[in-house]
Homo-oligomer: A and B are copies of this chain.
């Protein structure tokens, strides 16, 4: 079969429609005939189902400007995995925005009105807006043309870690606050800080101390402002973003602790009853300004690490860039995006 490229569509007739759409889910029906996108036509060429397009064989067509190699790599990979899928073009699928392919559940096709994944294709060297994530699967084509799938999802964070803590006093020492005689609940039940030794003293991180001081649970020379000021000195704007996220996590009943060993801002415990019986931490949280653009490689690194330690990677996007204007911390201006590896 020899077909013709018309703009960005390969036109084919009734016979092609029967062979390619009706039985295998390629293309878009138009007036009883079929339109194929170039990537679909390339796949049919690759399989030998059609011989040429405008005289071009697979090799020539893939080398032409009509087909993106990156799209082809993902299209082929998903077909190899047994899926039918449709290019997310306006008029071809519902809600085309933000996706490159709409993938149907295995055994289903474009005629079934069920969607398994909305896939967005990027090359390893492209960047992707943080706000574009959520509700789609990123298919990242690496330099060797292998595809890594990352499922992205907007989500809520919640837990039952909400032990009450009596107020206490602390002393700001460099980049930490030491509570020399804290109530036992501070560390034992609510899991703030670390024990300095055996005598009960607890050292708080600056973000923990700033939160407790803002909540009226910690008195320190200069008040919360002194702690926040020290935080900004050593971390800049990032401190405000981290404090906003820390506050939102605590407000959601989740106990955040440093994620340093995992290269993250926080790890979180949803159901702390005591510091002695912590259980497993569920999330790794990385705090980012909402205008962040991800390098796919950094995403792959974070998500792979989280998977390896049986946690879920969550990116906390602070909408206002964490300007410390005072309304941060209510969590309303935060977005949580969970990203996990997916094997379709």
Chain A residues close to B by CB (< 8 Å) = 46, 59, 62-63, 68-70, 76, 123-125, 140, 142-146, 148, 171, 173-176, 178, 180, 193-194, 196-197, 203, 205-207, 234-235, 257-258, 260-264, 296-298, 300-302, 304-305, 308-309
Contact = CB atoms under 8 A, between A and B. Distances in A.
Contact of A144 (B59, B125, B205, B300): B205
Given A144-B260, A146-B258, A260-B297, 14 more contacts: A123-B175, A124-B260, A143-B176, A143-B260, A144-B194, A144-B257, A145-B194, A145-B205, A146-B194, A148-B261, A260-B296, A261-B300, A262-B301, A263-B297
Contact of A258 (B76, B143, B258, B304): B143
A14 B257 CA distance: 45
Contacts of A205: 143-145
B142 A260 contact: yes
Contacts of A234: 125
Nearest to A259: B297
**Which are the 9 A-B pairs with shortest beta-carbon distances?**
A263-B301, A142-B260, A308-B308, A143-B205, A69-B174, A305-B305, A144-B258, A144-B205, A144-B194
Contacts of A125: 175, 234-235
18 contacts: A59-B178, A62-B178, A63-B171, A63-B173, A70-B174, A123-B175, A125-B234, A143-B206, A143-B207, A145-B196, A145-B203, A146-B258, A146-B260, A146-B261, A261-B300, A262-B304, A301-B302, A305-B305
